[in-house]
Structure 1
Amino acid sequence: MGVAGVDLVMKRAMEGILADSSIPLLPILSLSLGYNTGVSFGMFADPGGWQRWPLVVLSVVIVMGLVVWLTRLPSTGEIASKMALALIVGGAAGNAADRAAFGHVTDFILLHWRSWSWPTFNFADIAISAGAVLLVAVSRHRQPDTISEQRTNP
């Protein structure tokens, strides 16, 4: 089913479960339904909805670029890079499909502490963030090898 499939199923399930309520899971974690017409943290959110199709197109272009990158990695090795890119692609595809179908991204995970709360997010956002962190970690881990190779092979 993949990241995008799990994300879309979870979003539809949470819409049914959380239609009129919020469910506290832990003192800092709740399930709470929200709809984001913008991007991360609600940037570019506008009730007019002008941003729907430009954001869908941008997401599709990014996904296509990442898929090209993924297919150009060596067939053996680079497992962490492949996993990172697959997480990002799956998350971006899930959010793009949600936005294309409904004009917004469905969010349902809420982190909070006392009066502070993080903007609601979803499974796709977690996959994108985890993939990005893994990609940075892989690239940082690889950098010293590249530098030492450059010094030994001028």
Structure 2
Amino acid sequence: MFTVHAIDAETLESVRRTGRDASGNAPEPWLAEGGEPVRCCLRDAEPGEQLLLFGFDPKLPPDSPYRELGAVFAHAEPCAGPAATGYPEGWRGRPQVLRAYDARGWIHPSTRTHDGTNPEAELADILAHPEVVRVDSRNIAYGCYMFTVTR
């Protein structure tokens, strides 16, 4: 069994309140065209939704050589968050990179791509490795962070 985590509410509130992202830059207002992956509620945006595009730090241990920042979309105003804690229904069938990490924040060899047809089985297989403490799903084309999975 595993839990899928969206971007945490504290990070989102900070970006909205301070007008600064993980790099200290101002988030870019974005009027959704539809289909943008929204990381606060783990679904694709509907046309016309008000979003923010900003740099996000998925918070690996600070001394990890694999720590990185990347652009993500979130709603400009607070939303209800994900509908469930399982794999996002609207993102099934979407090829992803499942990047596994150990407790040091180092990439684990069980990292792989998947075609989106059975993400639960792929995640269960990766999480079966006792050294793996988290898996980050990332977009294949852009490499952007999508969400985190933990046991």
Please report the TM-score for the alignment, with normalisation by the length of structure 1.
0.25
Structure with bigger helix share is 1
Structure with bigger strand share is 2
Q: Tell which has more relative contact order, 1 or 2 (C-alpha 8 A, sep 6+).
A: 1
Please report the TM-score for the alignment, with normalisation by the length of structure 2.
0.26
**Which one has the largest radius of gyration?**
1
